[in-house]
Amino acid sequence: MKLSEFKFELPENLLAQHPAKNRDESRLMVLHRDSGKIEHRMFKDILEYFDEGDVFVVNDTKVFPARLFGNKEKTGAQIEVFLLRELNKEIHLWDVLVDPARKIRVGNKLYFGESDMVAEVIDNTTSRGRTIKFLYDGPDEDFYKALYNLGETPIPKDFISRDTEAADKERYQTIYAKNIGAVAAPSAGLHFTKEVMKRLEIKGIDVASVTLHVGLGTFRTVDVEDLTKHKMDSENFMVPAETATMVNKALDAKKRVCAIGTTSMRAMESSVSAHVRLKGNEGWTDRFIFPPYDFKIANALLTNFHTPESTLMMMASAFAGHELLIEAYKLAIKEKYKFFSYGDAMLII
C-alpha cells in the first residue's frame, strides 16, 4: 500500500489535550471485522465482548521522565534534552535529542537546574540527535534519583500543545506499568482502571504481560510513498515464557487473545514460533506492520485513534481491513471521538 492511502483531514480540536476525567469513561468504538458492524460504547463496556478463558496481553513498560531542561555553559541558553536510551550505564552515556539543536556542538557542557548534574556532548548522531555523557561520580542510585527529579513527563508535544501538568505524571502511565524504559506511553492501556482489572479477574479473563519499551520512533514520520521502503526504529522487548504459555493455551482452546495496543501486538508478532504459536523471547524489534499482513497470534486488538499517515494507523488498518478502518475513522471524526494518546479507544474483533 501507499502512504497517501492513510491521509485524512483530522480537525485540530479532536486531538485530545487532556485525558478523560475517569480512565474507563473514554468512548469505545467497536469494529466487527466479519460483518463490518460498528458500535459506539464506553470503555468500561469492553468486558461484554470477552469470556472466561480469553486473554488480554498488556504492555507493562513504564514511562520515565525523559524531558530535561539544561543550560548551556557560558551563554546560559536553555536547552531541552530528551533522553531516548541509555547507551552505557557505567559511564552514564545517553542517546538524546536536543532543542534548539543548532546551539549544541560536540564538547559543549550542559548544566541542569540547581543540582550538580552536568553533561558533556560527545557526538552528533542526527540533525537533532546527540550522544551525551553525564559527569557524575556518585552511586548509581543517586544518579537515577537525581535524573528522575530533574525530568518531566514526556507527553508528546507535537500533538499535545500545552505544558506538562502535575496530573500527567499519573495519567500518562498505565496502572500496571512496571518495567522502566519507555519514552512514550502505550496509550491503549491508559483506559484501564483497577475496577476494570478486577472485573476481568472475576469474569475469568486472564491478563498476561509483555514488555516493549516504546521509543519516539513509534511516532516518526513516514516520508516514503512506498511503505516497503520505510524503516522502523528498533525497540527493546521481552515476552516472558509464562505469557507465551497462557496465550498458547487460549489459542488452542479457540479463545480470544486481545493485544492491548499496537506495542503488545508488535512484541507478539516478533516472537512467533515455527508452529505459529507465541514463544518466550527478548531482544530488539524493528517489525513494521502494514497492509496486507497475516497476524499470527492475537485475534482482537484494542488501540486508540491515530494520526494521519502514522505507523500505528497502518497496523490498525492491517488488522481491521483498510476499507473498514477508513470508514470507522470518517465516522469517528463525524461523531467527534478524541484522537491520539489521551484520546478514545477502538476495539477491533
* Model confidence pLDDT, tens digit, residues 316-346: 999 999 999 999 999 999 999 999 999 999 9
What is the residue type of 346? M
**Residues 218, 312: Cα–Cα separation, whole Å:** 8
Asked whether residue 156 is assigned to any structural domain, the reply reads no
Helices in 187-292 by DSSP H: which ranges?
A: 194-203, 241-252, 262-269
Nearest CA-CA partner of 156 in 244, 115, 216, 92: 216
For range 140-158, the mean pLDDT: 90
Give burial (CB, 10 Å; 0-12/13-18/19+) of 163: exposed
Average pLDDT, integer, range 217-229: 89
| Mean confidence (pLDDT) of the chain | 95
Instruction: Give the DSSP letter of residue 294.
Output: -
Owning domain of residue 73:
67-150
**Residue 205 falls inside a structural domain:** yes
pTM passes above 0.85: yes
293 falls within a domain: yes
**Is the per-residue pLDDT at 283 higher than 90?**
yes
Question: Per-residue pLDDT tens for 114-127?
Answer: 778 999 999 998 88
Q: Which three cell numbers stand for residue 278?
A: 507465541
* pLDDT, tens digit, 9 for 90 and up, residues 187-215: 999 999 999 999 999 999 999 999 999 98
Domain boundary residue, one of 150, 181, 214: 150
- CA dist 48 and 44 (Å) reads 9
Query: What's residue 217's pLDDT?
Result: 77
124 and 231 both lie in a single domain: no
Task: Out of 39-48, 99-108, 250-259, pick the least confident.
Answer: 99-108
> Residue 311: which H helix or E strand, with range?
helix 311-320
What is the Cα–Cα distance from 112 to 151, expressed in whole angstroms? Answer: 10
pLDDT at 138 > cutoff 90: no
CA atoms within 13 A on the CB side of 31: 27
Mean pLDDT of 304-309: 97
C-alpha cell read off for 346: 477502538
Give me the number of domains the chain comprises.
2
Q: What ranges make up the beta strands (E) of the chain?
A: 27-31, 38-42, 55-59, 61-63, 67-72, 78-88, 93-99, 109-111, 118-124, 129-134, 179-182, 206-212, 235-239, 257-260, 281-285, 300-304, 345-348
Three-point CA angle 97, 169, 115, nearest 5°:
60
> Does the pLDDT of residue 32 top 80, yes or no?
yes
Cα(256)–Cα(295) distance, integer angstroms: 13
Nearest-angstrom CA–CA distance, 248 and 241: 11
Residues 316 and 220 in one domain: yes
What mean pLDDT comes out for the span 43-48?
98
- Sorting pLDDT into bands at 50, 70 and 90, what band is 226? very high
What are the phi and psi torsion angles at 61 (to 5°)?
A: -60, 150
Q: In this structure, are 198 and 58 located in the same domain?
A: yes
Residues 80-97 pLDDT 10s:
999 998 899 889 999 999
Q: Distance between terminal CA atoms of the chain?
A: 23
How wide is the angle at C-alpha 189 spanned by C-alphas 159 and 175, nearest 5°?
110
Q: So what's the pLDDT on residue 110?
A: 95
Residue range 224-231: mean pLDDT, rounded: 95
The upper half-sphere exposure of residue 278, i.e. CA atoms within 13 Å in the direction of its Cβ, equals 34
**75 and 223 housed in the same domain:** no
Indicate which CATH number applies to the domain containing 215: 3.40.1780.10
- What whole-number percentage of the chain has pLDDT above 70? 100
Distance between CA atoms of residues 129 and 120, nearest Å: 14
Contact in structure between 146 and 134 (CB atoms under 8 Å): no
Q: 74 pLDDT exceeds 90?
A: no
Average pLDDT over residues 257-264: 98
Of the two residues 284 and 157, the one the predictor is more confident about is 284
Beta bridge partners of 347: 30, 302
pLDDT at 19 over 80: yes
Question: Could you tell me which residues come within 8 angstroms of residue 218 by beta carbon, excluding any fewer than 6 positions away?
Answer: 184, 233, 235, 263, 311, 312
Residue 160, domain member (yes or no): no
Q: Is residue 105 part of a domain?
A: yes
Residue 161 counted as domain residue: no
Looking at the structure, tell me whether residues 54 and 182 fall in a common domain: yes
User: What's the pLDDT score for residue 157?
Assistant: 87
Average pLDDT over residues 211-237: 91
Mean pLDDT of 154-172: 93
Res 128 pLDDT > 90:
no
